[in-house]
Chains A and B, each alone.
Chain A
């Protein structure tokens, strides 16, 4: 059974703090790793799609790294702001044959940034 784990489950930080979370995924049959940001009552917003071992991606104050050999990805937020408060989900895309690509999701890390 393919499983994706995220830690920590929740995090409270002060405005201006930098923070990071972990996503662990199966290291075999890797195709891609997605990060999404999900605010309550909105649709998940794609942050990054990572495909290569050693990938590092950046979007403003948010960045992510990928290690496919050991099966983990880190998401970093530099200088957290209250508007960063959301649930951050990672999803693993296995390398399956056929015309489908089903994402396998972690439970998410819920981030609350206090002003």
Chain B
């Protein structure tokens, strides 16, 4: 069964450093998403991406965040200058249809900022 893969599974970084979280969505999916979950809190939407551009972003997704699809298969989330409060589980998801049917999540990257 096709799956969304994320790397690394766990990343520890120092405050102020840049991190890049990588995702390989399912190949025929067109819609891509990043979500995160801070420990003990709800899963939060960060950004959606379609047709090589951001289609929506949340207020969390400020100037320190960026996404890109550098080579047509990877989908990356970059955090430019990490803060302690960025520590969370980051999930990538992709969907074939606009309706949201067939949302598939990756296994997540646990980011720890120290």
Residues of A within 8 A of B (CB): 31-32, 34, 36, 41-44, 46, 49, 51, 89, 91, 93, 98-107
List chain A residues, Cβ under 8 A from B2. Answer: none
Is B70's beta carbon under 8 Å from chain A?
A: no
Contacts A/B (CB < 8 Å), 17 sampled = A34-B103, A43-B91, A43-B105, A43-B106, A46-B103, A49-B101, A49-B103, A99-B48, A99-B51, A100-B31, A101-B98, A102-B33, A102-B45, A102-B48, A103-B35, A103-B100, A105-B35
Q: Interface of chain A, helix or strand or loop or mixed?
A: loop
Q: Is the CB of A44 within 8 A of B105?
A: yes
Please, how many residues of chain B have a CB less than 8 angstroms from a CB on the other chain? 27
Is B112 in the interface zone, CB < 8 Å from A?
Answer: no
User: Given B43, B95, B101, which contacts A105 in the complex, CB threshold below 8 Å?
Assistant: B43
Write out the residue numbers on chain B whose beta carbons fall within 8 Å of the beta carbon of A51: 99
Compute how far the CA of A91 lies from the CA of B50 in the bound complex, rounded to whole angstroms. Answer: 21
